[in-house]
């Protein structure tokens, strides 16, 4: 997916000084008893989405939980759009013309519907529910995403992963992987598309330690998962009310849990099956700059990527088979980067 904001701001993410990955919030002046309480019930930061229209009069709207003022990164996960269930008869579905990416990977994960993907690597693939499609932008890639005519309801997430500095100029790549859902009797299912969880391991290579899994929970089911204590986690709720480590999350909310936990407990508080996506990773130590569809390390990186796209440089290649023009890059703001920092633990109320 392309970031379709007409005036995207530059977002600086993951400053090591901003508290991202600062552990369990030590140093906030809490007394011993509160400290003990927090050991049992870790603090969960509830991130609410903002609605971003995908453009056009009938356009579908996505719910963006990352990046936002309160948090820009969860591990290397740097962008989370959640959309649908969306009746494409009403909205026209998805039709994203050729657009570029640098310095990141895109993860397309659907709950329903189908999207046709084409990229400048020559990949032509169909994104279907329960199937991972991971595109690596690296130094530069271009792609298109169009919901297919047989799609009636479009529903899913589009996630981006920031590449670490040593791999940010890696060659473009596209991978497809279908995880076998793990059934937990009487509780739900777990589909691990990146990393490992509940004994399931995705074979797909990541450039930093990462977790991505769809978890469904039967009505009122409770599930305790062993997790990597070095990871921070985010649970995006698609459907249902789900209690994560003691905090109830409603549909479209993303609950963030600091590193340091070796288990996470999810409880479906609703009478329906709940669906969630669990993201995790080791805190991303580098500061990155995101603007439009690019990730770099500086404003100059972004300006160069924009210039390369506007001049149709070989850097991004060409997407074949899309009946329309490429997306022009928005105007780059002259202003210096607008920093967005995660709050220090002490700022939390």
Report the C-alpha gap between 103 and 295 in whole angstroms. 5
Are the C-beta atoms of 100 and 326 separated by less than 8 Å? no
- Closer Cβ to Mn ion, 1 or 289, answer by number: 1
User: Least distance in Å: CB of 12 to Mn ion?
Assistant: 21
- Closer Cβ to Mn ion, 98 or 281, answer by number: 98
User: For residue 6, which phi and psi values (nearest 5 degrees)?
Assistant: -75, -25
Report the C-alpha gap between 20 and 48 in whole angstroms. 18
- Closer Cβ to Mn ion, 262 or 310, answer by number: 310
User: Least distance in Å: CB of 81 to Mn ion?
Assistant: 10
- Beta-carbon contacts of 35 under 8 Å, excluding residues fewer than 6 positions away, are none
Quote the distance between the C-alpha of residue 134 and its chain's center: 12
User: Least distance in Å: CB of 3 to Mn ion?
Assistant: 8
Are the C-beta atoms of 97 and 327 separated by less than 8 Å? yes
User: Least distance in Å: CB of 1 to Mn ion?
Assistant: 5
Report the C-alpha gap between 94 and 101 in whole angstroms. 18
Are the C-beta atoms of 327 and 8 separated by less than 8 Å? no
- Closer Cβ to Mn ion, 1 or 277, answer by number: 1
The 113-152 site mask, x for binding Mn ion (CB under 5 A), equals ----------------------------------------
Task: Give the pairing of strands 288-291 and 294-296.
Answer: antiparallel
Q: Which of residues 2-61 bind Mn ion (CB under 5 A)?
A: 2
Residue with tokens 């439009």: 292
- Closer Cβ to Mn ion, 20 or 133, answer by number: 133
Residues in the chain: 349
User: Least distance in Å: CB of 52 to Mn ion?
Assistant: 14
User: Least distance in Å: CB of 322 to Mn ion?
Assistant: 13
User: Least distance in Å: CB of 305 to Mn ion?
Assistant: 14
Report the C-alpha gap between 77 and 211 in whole angstroms. 9
- Closer Cβ to Mn ion, 117 or 261, answer by number: 117
- Closer Cβ to Mn ion, 231 or 294, answer by number: 294
Interacting residues with Mn ion (CB under 5 A): 1-2
């Amino acid at each position: 997916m392309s970031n379709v904001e007409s005036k995207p701001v530059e977002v600086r993410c993951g400053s090591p000084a901003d508290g991202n990955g600062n552990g369990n919030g030590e140093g906030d002046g809490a007394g011993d008893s509160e400290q003990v309480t927090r050991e049992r019930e870790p603090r969960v930061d509830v991130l609410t989405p903002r609605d971003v229209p995908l453009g056009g009069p009938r356009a579908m709207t996505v719910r963006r939980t990352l990046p936002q003022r309160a948090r820009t990164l969860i591990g290397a996960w740097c962008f989370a759009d959640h959309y649908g269930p969306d009746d494409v008869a009403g909205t026209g579905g998805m039709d994203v013309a050729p657009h570029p990416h640098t310095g990141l990977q895109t993860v397309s994960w659907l709950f329903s519907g189908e999207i046709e993907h084409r990229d400048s690597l020559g990949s032509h693939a169909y994104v279907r529910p329960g199937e991972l499609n991971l595109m690596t932008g690296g130094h530069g890639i271009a792609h298109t995403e169009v919901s297919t005519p047989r799609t009636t309801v479009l529903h899913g997430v589009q996630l981006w992963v920031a590449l670490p500095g040593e791999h940010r100029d890696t060659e473009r790549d596209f991978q497809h992987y279908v995880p076998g859902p793990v059934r937990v009797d009487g509780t739900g299912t777990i589909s691990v598309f990146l990393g490992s969880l509940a004994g399931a391991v995705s074979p797909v290579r990541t450039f930093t330690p990462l977790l991505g899994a769809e978890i469904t929970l039967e009505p009122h089911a409770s599930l305790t998962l062993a997790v990597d204590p070095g990871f921070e986690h985010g649970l995006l709720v698609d459907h249902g009310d789900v209690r994560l480590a003691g905090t109830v999350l409603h549909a479209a909310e993303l609950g963030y849990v600091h590193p340091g936990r070796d288990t996470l407990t999810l409880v479906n508080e609703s009478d329906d099956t709940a669906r969630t996506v669990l993201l995790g990773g080791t805190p991303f130590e580098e500061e990155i700059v995101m603007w439009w569809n690019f990730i770099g390390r500086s404003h100059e990186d972004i300006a160069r990527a924009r210039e390369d796209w506007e001049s149709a440089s070989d850097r991004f290649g060409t997407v074949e088979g899309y009946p329309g023009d490429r997306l022009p890059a928005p105007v780059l703001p002259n202003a210096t980067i607008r920093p967005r920092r995660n709050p220090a633990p002490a700022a939390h109320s």
